[in-house]
Structure 1
């Protein structure tokens, strides 16, 4: 008789395990369950746990396959003829446990990003690639920028971005009830990629005109590739989100509506005294004869009214910076802004730039998001360098907010 296990000895029954071959155990229904010996052995000697879930596993350095364009890892799990890419599974796990919580500060939206968006991604490949791209980009930012791991995850993110755009660009021109939610979600992800990378994703130029149908815009006269010029390009992505929202509004029903919520007036506290004073000082710039010539040319009164209107909108919307749950509401100042104001920024209108600097300083409330970190400082510093020293008193508040110091040389120099 073969040796019996302690459980069988205790119950005084014949042991169903045999010494050789596959181990068999009778189930309560009388069926025979077969276990390979590696199963028992692996349970007795489990592999050591990873010391850091955010670090790539040994032997599975992320890479992108140049032949197929499909992101692959060094390892793959194969069961029943199916092949699962280990890196993609890693990115899904990271998104489902970490990244989804970083998309918004509002707790009630976290489940939407984790469950609703991902469920929609399983029905639309371009959104699934967008989710994986965001997860890879998030993992990249958690590594030192000089490291090989950062470079590899960035390559993976780019590969998934390209795959997402390949499906998104043709679909965005034909929105429908079937793809409306997926298009809306990818539009939000596009903005996050642009903010995190400080530039627009490659391949998006062909779709920008679709976002701005019927809009005539002058060229950007700001310094090429300056933070402000780059940011204006991202503004157009945000405006594109609004355009997609208009096209898909009637189909954004159910749980996804949580991403469309706006704060009530009662949800936002009044501004502190220093912010109120900053707005009052900025409003005086429109009347300062040293800064603004006499408004005696055609269209000037319209421009002045436009700038005052946007000043009032910023005064109202920026109250959200005091409430973490609603910090993302700060973007609506741009998504809802009229195109003539965006054009004023593109043309370097000094009042518009000073107003933009105030918004940028308030945008610092988003610095705790990995994809928005550093923008506030860069933008205020850039606007400070674009405007003449005579504008110093009108930029005092935003400079103090981000830690800039005015130098005696007449230039603004950043100090952390």
Structure 2
């Protein structure tokens, strides 16, 4: 039988809540103020607490602050007649499980009680549980699947040299992480790793970003700017989304790949750089070459060694390890002893195709950790990108339908 503590200075309300919950089969403890409530919390170890925020002597917020990490040993539902955003936000930040505004619906009270107790008493699946003892670097390539093991071996062979590398794969598969790993494992690791998103800037700005410019080279060029290739001298430059490069930039990059030389904008002085080039794309460059969207000579310059990353759905055996890793990182960042998932939540996680790959998995778990309040993650806390898009499309369809009805 679950034990519930009600801390509220309003005797009539406290007794009404107690009667309702006793009728549901729960054992009830009562406290008329925060000070008495804290004593009962120390001596009787309830499974759930209802806490009024506005009380004489020790206020509800003070009780929450004193409980601190104990809030993860039992859920606390705060109650107040002052339903302001400030009090709600502060209570949730302090670790409250949920929030009720007086007067509240009795059915809602019972339902929330059942949900909070079920969440607190849930069985934890060890596969979906964080392990702070085994937390590696947050930005670390992981995977026990044969596909990922082959990639690790290829990185080991390629890293020591200066060979240009092309990393391909869908968005979210970890192309930037592979580039960072290559650089860190290379003799150039003491030099800079300079990253450039080629899709983020228009052509004229990207050219200046890559190669730099002299003062007065164009309107707004008020000072000399060192480009990314010069910044990466002695190190590595990572060119992400090279499938988005314009024909002009493709031509200028070809020269850098051939002889490591270039000119800043507004200058005719040729400059040499010692830099390793790693490129990445989620597009099919071979098809782009066939359709004359990408230079064939540049494609072959990029494609000296190719590392092709599999989608997450193509390596399902890695999902558990990745989940544990991300949960451990999230727990560490949020100052929690651990962060876990139920078996049902883990089953739901495994059923997702994850079109956004590892990045989507990480975002999904981070969202779930927030929605669960740092407690055990339940299936309802897992919201996938495709579900969000589907809901948005359904909403848009309904709105269009309503507009159509109004016109009729």
Shorter-normalised TM range: under 0.3
In terms of fraction of residues, the more strand-rich structure is 2
What is the TM-score when the length of structure 2 is the normalising length?
A: 0.23
What is the TM-score when the length of structure 1 is the normalising length?
A: 0.23
Higher relative contact order structure (alpha carbons within 8 Å, sequence separation ≥ 6): 2
In terms of fraction of residues, the more helix-rich structure is 1
